[in-house]
Amino acid sequence: MKMTSSYFAISPTSPDERTWLQETYSRVDILVNNAGVNPTMQPQEASLLTVDMDTMLTTFNTNVLAVARITQAVIPLMQVNNYGRIVNVSTEMASLSSMSSDYYPLAPSYRLSKVGLNGLTAIFAKELQGSNILINAYSPGWMKTDMGGSDAPFTADEGAETAVYLATLPDSGSQGGFFAEMRKFGGAIALPW
């Protein structure tokens, strides 16, 4: 069996991705939505009282709407084969139970956009119930990436372990879950929404 992988960037404001995907690919088995911008370093991101609404809109366009658009485009390519695994990269900071915690930076645009991503995950899961297309979200943790910086304790490969696990779930696997990074707990542990 020949396997190929591809990665590509999408414009959150362009409707052409669905057509391009369906013309380019006849089958998609796994989709990992790793869309993410985090404007946390901007001073106005220190408070929801001062956050710039244009920044918040840009963050939502990338972290929520682009994911919705690409997922809508890929699901029909999964339905043809009655198989698919969709993994949305979220963050523990999007857990509603963490919103009042002093442990995480406030980062309102980023955190609220990832709450939206988790909502997309749950709604798509409900709509895909009974199919063999599973969708879940997970937090990769703080990683050494362009966004995470060099002080992060984990590599991108370590952060991808849970994505690989979720992308290869058996047919009876979790649907609509939100998981912590596996290395943190020695296995896939569900996080509270």
Pairwise CA distance, residues 120 & 140, whole Å: 18
Q: pLDDT > 70: what percent of the chain?
A: 78
Other Cβ atoms closer than 10 A to 132 = 15
- The residue extents of the domains of the chain are 26-185
Burial label for 170, CB within 10 Å (0-12, 13-18, 19+), is exposed
The pLDDT of residue 93 is 82
Mean pLDDT of 148-154: 65
Stretch (H or E) spanning 183: helix 182-185
User: pLDDT tens for residues 75-131?
Assistant: 999 999 999 999 999 988 888 888 887 767 778 898 999 999 999 999 999 999 999
Q: What is the pLDDT of residue 19?
A: 79
Q: Is the predicted pLDDT of residue 25 greater than 90, yes or no?
A: no
Q: Regarding the domain delimited by 26-185, which CATH topology (the fold level of the hierarchy) does it fall under?
A: Rossmann fold (3.40.50)
Task: Kindly state the tokens that stand for 74.
Answer: 């890929």
What is the average pLDDT across 43-63?
Answer: 85
Residue 129, pLDDT score: 96
Pick from 2-6, 97-101, 174-178 the range whose average pLDDT is largest.
174-178
pLDDT of residue 142: 57
Q: What is the pLDDT of residue 124?
A: 99
Amino acid 2: pLDDT: 61
Has residue 162 got a pLDDT over 90? no
Contacts by residues 188-192 (CB-CB < 8 Å, ≥ 24 positions apart): 188/138, 188/162, 191/92, 191/95, 191/139, 192/95, 192/96, 192/97
pLDDT at position 53 is: 92
Q: What is the mean pLDDT of the chain?
A: 83
Q: Is the pLDDT of residue 170 over 80?
A: yes
Q: Give the pLDDT of residue 161.
A: 81
Residue 1, pLDDT > 60, answer no
